[in-house]
Amino acid sequence: MKVEKIELYHISIPLPKAFYPSWIPGYPQKFNRSTLIKITTDDGIVGYSAGMAMEEEREGLGSLLGQYLIGQEVEKLDEVTQLLREASYLGWRNNWIEAAFWDIIGKKEGKPVYELLGGKGGKIETYCSTGEIHEPGKRAEEVLAMREMGFKILKLRVHDHELKDDIAQIKTVREAVGDKIKLGVDANQGWPVTIINKPAIWDLERATEFARACEEYDFGWLEEPLDMYAFDEMAELRRRTKTPIAGGELTPGWHEHKILFEKESLDIYQPDATFSGIDTAVKVMREALKRNLKFKPHTWTNGVGFAINLQIAAASPHREPIEFPYEPPAWIPKYRDAIMKNHFMIDSDGCVTIPDKPGLGFEIDEEALNRFGRKFFEMTSKGLAMKTIKQRGLFDALKLAKAKKKG
């Protein structure tokens, strides 16, 4: 089973109101944007994946990918991972593409990806993951409303200039909601982005003081309190506080996760398979379980990204609640999952149903894709051959084809 065709789409879903992500302070996000890849094999099986995008920055990605992936055997996942890594040296980070190959393999086998990984279906509890920072009193009211929807666990955001204001956020909300809901908090310090505003970047001392406040107000975890590469400082923070430390969402490769494990930097590992690839996320899951640590994949990208990471969560034998991005009115399933036929929703117990369809478990809504997407690249094996002949001449094209076949 080989890759016969690659198609790439820019996706841009308008939001009903500007969304202000805490991880890009001061930035009004008015669209849910992503890059969608559609891979078709020589026997007609189609696999999808999507990577988060700010705008149309991957415009030239197809020309690079075509040379790497056309003709690639789908089931040789180690080769696929290596090719995507090589392509990243020449252009964009490409780990998000790997999931499309898993989608194809699952469809060929007639099994969901989580079954291929030894997992099982059913339902999984979610935790409501907010995305903005609101005035503490307002946020407390919102938390109570989300509890009424069915969420039993919720994650707040903090990202202020002053530590006292970050502490006021968690103090006010805890005092308002009491023990009606379990709380966690994300500081978004793992990968600072300062396009608009430039809030404080935490050091170990600030992280320590905030972690101790989390202890006082009974927060279940503190996420991304330091830079993603502050391996030693996070290990020291763990020694200083009883609050579990979480991170690893943007950590790209196994070699970097391995350092986190060796340094004992985290209590909770949160890789995102659209940043690390499924293979790496599964390695992290297995290593975390072996060390009696928690594994809770990150999902804050788009609907396809949520679907991919839901498969990984379902593959874990010790299921932890999965992150459910939710910040009304802008970031809700209607806009997060707009290009998919079925939107992921929670039930009255705060659980989401794990799809039992083969592959990644979702279907693309072609009408929505036509409305919100623009195809910017398409290539087949024949198209690649013609392009090579046009650019290099027949003789050199034949030499290249022969060399590639030899490996």
323-375 pLDDT, tens digit each: 999 999 999 999 999 999 999 999 999 999 999 999 999 999 999 999 999 99
Q: What is the mean pLDDT of the chain?
A: 93
| Amino acid symbol at 354 | I
CA distance 56 to 73: 29
DSSP state string for 15-43: EEEEE--TTSTT--EEEEEEEEEEEEETT
Q: Domains, the chain, ranges and CATH?
A: 3-111+363-406 (3.30.390.10), 115-354 (3.20.20.120)
CA distance 239 to 269: 17
| Amino acid symbol at 399 | K
Give helix 231-240 / helix 254-263 axis angle, nearest 10°: 40
Token pair for 206: 């600030």
* Residue 67: per-residue pLDDT: 80
Neighbour-count burial of 344, counting CB atoms closer than 10 A to its CB (0-12 exposed, 13-18 middle, 19+ buried) = buried
Instruction: Give 125-140 pLDDT, tens digit per residue.
Output: 999 999 999 999 999 9
**CA separation (Å) from 297 to 7, 209, 292?**
27, 26, 16
Q: Say whether pTM exceeds 0.85.
A: yes
| Amino acid symbol at 343 | H
CA distance 87 to 94: 7
